[in-house]
Amino acid sequence: MKKLITGNEAVARGAYESGVTFASGYPGTPSTEILEEIAKYKGVQAEWSANEKVALDKIIGVSLSGRRSMAVMKHVGVNVASDTLMTLSYTGVNAGLVLVVVDDPGMYSSQNEQDSRIYAKFAKIPLLEPSDSQEAKDFVLLAFKISERYDTPVMIRLTARIAHTESVVEIKDNVNRRSYYKKFKHDPCKYVMVPANARKRRIFVEERLTKLEEFSRHILYNRIEWGSSNIAFVASGIVYQYAKEAFPEASFLKLGMTFPIPVSLVKSFTKKFKVFYIAEELDPFLEEQIKSAQITHGIGKKLFPYTGELNQDYISRALKRQVKKNSVKKYTKIDNSRSLLCCGCPYLGVFYLLKKMKIIAIGDIGCYALNVFSSYNSLATCISMGSSLGIASGLGRFAQKGLKRKVVSVIGDSTFFHSGLSALADIVYNKGAQKILILDNKAAAMTGGQGHPGTGQRLKGEKGRKIEFEPLIKAMGINRVFTVNSYNLKAIKEVLGREIVNEGISVVIIDSPCLLVSKARVVTKYRVLSNFCRNCKECLKLGCSALLIDNDQRVTIDNNACTGCSFCYQICPAKAIRPI
Amino acid sequence: MKSIDIVITGLGGQGVLSAGKVIGEVALMAGYDVKITAIRGMAQRGEGVLSQIRIGKKIFSPLISEGKGDILLGFELLEVANNEHLIKKEGLLIFFDRLTPFKKTTDLSLKIAHKNKLEFSYKKTLERLPNEKNINLFMLGVVSKYLTFKKELWIESIKINFSGKKLQDNLFTFEYGYT
C-alpha cells in the first residue's frame, strides 16, 4: 500500500522492518521524530539517552549481544558521539549497527551547518544518502546488510529537507520482520582496543574499505540514468532531486552510497562527457573523492555554494552562469520577530533580572538561547551542549579585573544531564567559584518536551527514575544549592543578589515546567489600566509577546495570548498592570 | 490535470501541516505522485509555517520553483505577503484577513500583489464554525472546488487523518467551506 510519509517516519519504518530490537538517541531537530516514531512500533525497545555518546555506546552493547540496533542524532550530536565512533570503526560489530544522522543545511534550527558526511570518511565507514522517503526506508534495510557483511558500523545521512518531506512509500501491511541473531562471542582481539590489538584492526579497516569500494560499484542504488542532453551530473540525496527537476533531460550518476564512491563507475560515466557537474550542498564531499581519483573535468564548488540549502532554481541559474562565481550563497532572510520565548515562559523573568543586575549570562543550547532575540538580551554566548559551565569558568576567573561584571552560567535541565555534569565536577575539583543557574522546566522543551534523567519520563511512556538536582549537586560537595520558583521574581532577585557575591560555588535552580509541556490552565489574566500607566515601557523588557503596542504607542495585553504568568504585574513600577 | 503546486502558509498551531497532509492524501488516492515539504522547527512557538505541496505524474524536487506555484492558501496576512512570490502571476490566492496582533507592532503596510484572490473574514468565518482549530478544513472546502479531485476522495482523506469528535467537526467545516 502506498503511503505518504516523511523521511524521518520512513527511517523508523525501515528500522522496524529490519528487525531492530533497540534504538536510542538524543532529541534534536531535525532528527527527533525518528526515535519517537520507532518507539511507536511494538517489539522495538527505544529510549532517549542522556547524550549521543551514551546512545552509541548502548547500541554497541546491543550489537554485541547479537541484536540489530540503531542510534539516531542530529549532526552536532555526532560530535559528542564521535569519540566512540572513531574506534567503533576498528572493532566492527557483532549484529548490525546503524547510525542515523540528520544534517541541517540552511541552519533552520541549529547552531552550525557542519557536513557530517565527513565523519564517515574520517571513521572510514560506509555512508548512505537517501534522496526521498522510499530510499530512506530501503537504505536502512541495506545498511544492516552492509553492516553485518563487512563487519562495520554504517552511517545513514539525511538532510532536514529529506527528514521533513513527505513522499510516497510502498509499505506492506504484514511485514515479516527480519530476525537476526548472532551469539555473543568473547573476542578481546576484536573489541579490546589496546595498541597491540588496534594495530591489527587498523589494517582490517583499510582492507574493509577496499572491499566496500568494490561493493559500491555493484549496488543498484549507485546507478546511471542516461539522458538525451549533453549535460551530466553526479549527485546524491536531495540535490539529485533538485538537479533532476532543473534538468530532466540530463544524464545522471545517482549515488546512494557516497562513501566510498565507486571510482570505476564514476570514471566510465564521466568519460562520456567533456565536462560534468558535481552538485552537492555544503562541503565538496563527492568532489574531493572524485578529484582524488584523478577525474578532473568535474565542476563542483566552482559553481555551487558551500553555504545553505540548494534548490532547482539555483542549480538552473548556476549552469547558465547566472550566479556570481562565489562560493558563498546568502541565506534566505528569516523573520526573527517571532523567534521569542513563548508568552509567559518561565524563563522570561530570570533573563529580565540578569539584564537588570548587569550580570553576564553565559548561555547553553536550548529554548533560552531565544533570549538573544529579545531587545533586552542578557545572553553573551551559546556555543554547544554543556559549554556554559566551562566558558563561564574561564571568563569568570578574570571577570573582576577587566569586566567589572559578574558572570553566571545558564543551563537547561536536559542540557545539564547531557554534558553539564562532568563540567560541574571539574569546577568543584578546580576550586571554582562559579554561579550556575539551572533553568529547570522539566523537559527538553525546544525539541518538543522530551523526558530526560531529571524528569524520569521515558520515551515509551513508562516511568523511569527521576534524579533530583539538589541532592545530586550537594553530593558533589556544593553546599550552596537553592531552588526558587521561576515566577517569584522577588525570591529570584534576592537569591541572585546574595549568591553572586558569595566566595564559592552556588547553584540556583529556577524551577517551573514549560507551559507547552504542562499545558497549565490560565487562572488569572492581566490587563493594563491606562489611567495608571506612565508609559515607561519597562514591561516590554520582559520580551513577552503578549505585550503589544497599540496605535497610540501604549502598551496593551493581548488577552488571547496572556498566560497569567504575572511577570509584568510584578515589575510594573506604576502598578498599572492588574488582574482581570 | 497535469500537475499542481500548492503553498499553504500560516502560523504554528493553525493546522497548516495537517491541511497539507489532507490534500496530499487526496492526490495520492487519485493516482498522482505527491511530495509535501515543511521545515518543522520552531512552529510550536507560533512562528510562520510554510508547507509546499507538489502534485503530478512524477515529482522530483519537493520545493516549488520561484513564481511557479498555482495556488496559495493563507491563514495569516503577513505570511501570505511573505510567500506570494512563490505563486505565478495568474495564480490564485485564498486567504484570511487575519493579522496576528504581535505583528501590528512592526511598521508594515501589507500589499498583496496578486490580482486573482479570494479573501475571507476570519472573524465572520469563525462565527459559523464549531472550533477555531477547524479553520484549516474550511480552507480545504473552499480550495476543493478549484481542484479536480472528486469530493469522495476529500471525505476519505479527512477520515484517514482525523478521528472522533474532531472528525465530525472537520467534516462539518469542510462541508461549510465547500458550499
Could you list the pLDDT tens digit for every one of the 580 residues in chain A?
999 999 999 999 999 999 999 999 999 999 999 999 999 999 899 999 999 999 999 999 999 999 999 999 999 999 999 999 999 999 999 999 999 999 999 998 899 999 999 999 999 999 999 999 999 999 999 999 999 999 999 999 999 999 999 999 999 888 888 778 899 999 999 999 999 999 999 999 999 999 999 999 999 999 999 999 999 999 999 999 999 999 999 999 999 999 999 999 999 999 999 999 999 999 999 999 999 999 999 999 999 999 999 999 999 999 988 766 555 677 766 555 556 788 899 999 999 999 999 999 999 999 888 888 887 888 999 999 999 999 999 998 876 666 778 999 999 999 999 999 999 999 999 999 899 999 999 999 999 899 999 999 999 999 999 999 999 999 999 999 999 999 999 999 999 999 999 889 999 999 999 998 888 888 899 999 999 999 999 999 998 988 888 878 899 998 888 999 999 999 999 999 999 9
Q: Is A408 helix (H, G, I), strand (E, B) or coil?
A: strand
CA distance A425 to A416: 12
Tell me the residue type at A534: R
Q: Strand A555-557 to strand A547-549: parallel, antiparallel, or no bridges (unpaired)?
A: antiparallel
Pick the CATH number of B4-99+111-178 from 3.10.450.50, 3.40.920.10, 3.10.310.50, 3.30.410.10: 3.40.920.10
- What is the H or E stretch that residue A394 is in? helix A387-402
Quick one: fold of A2-218? Rossmann fold (3.40.50)
Domain with CATH 3.40.50.970 in chain A: 2-218, 338-518
Q: Which of residues 232-261 of A touch B (CB under 8 A)?
A: 238, 241-242, 244-246, 248
CA distance A280 to A318: 13
Longest dimension (CA), chain B: 46
Which of B28, B36, B63 shows the shortest C-beta gap to A312?
A: B63
Residues of A in contact with B21 (CB under 8 A): 4, 166
Q: Which residue has the cell 530526560?
A: A452
Which of A166, A242, A312 shows the shortest C-beta gap to B36?
A: A166
Give me the architecture of the A223-319 domain, per CATH. Answer: 3-Layer(aba) Sandwich (3.40)
The alpha carbon of A547 is separated from its chain's Cα centroid by a whole number of angstroms, namely: 31
Quick one: fold of A526-579? Alpha-Beta Plaits (3.30.70)
Q: Please, what is the Cα angle at A506 between A503 and A509, to 5 degrees? A: 160
CATH classification (class only), A338-518: alpha beta
Compute the nearest-CA separation of A168 from chain B (Å).
7
Whether residue A161 and residue B62 make contact (CB cut-off 8 A), yes or no, is yes
Residues of A in contact with B63 (CB under 8 A): 161, 242, 311-312
Distances (CA, A) of A273 to A264, A266, A276, A296, B169: 15, 11, 6, 12, 59
Which of B39, B47, B101 shows the shortest C-beta gap to A339?
A: B47
Q: What's the whole-model pTM score? A: 0.95
Q: Are A274 and A297 contacting, i.e. CB atoms less than 8 angstroms apart?
A: yes
Domain range summary for chain B, segments of one domain joined by +: 4-99+111-178
Quick one: DSSP state of residue A274? S
Residues of B in contact with A108 (CB under 8 A): 39, 41
Quick one: DSSP state of residue B87? E
Domain with CATH 3.40.50.920 in chain A: 223-319
Q: Strand A165-170 to strand B33-37: parallel, antiparallel, or no bridges (unpaired)?
A: antiparallel
In degrees rounded to 5, what are phi and psi of residue A67?
-120, 150
Q: Residue A490 has which C-alpha cell? A: 522577588
Q: Which residues neighbour A536 within 8 Å (Cβ) at sequence distance 6 or greater?
A: A573, A574
Whether residue B38 and residue A164 make contact (CB cut-off 8 A), yes or no, is yes
CB count in 10 Å sphere of residue A120: 27
Quick one: DSSP state of residue A326? -
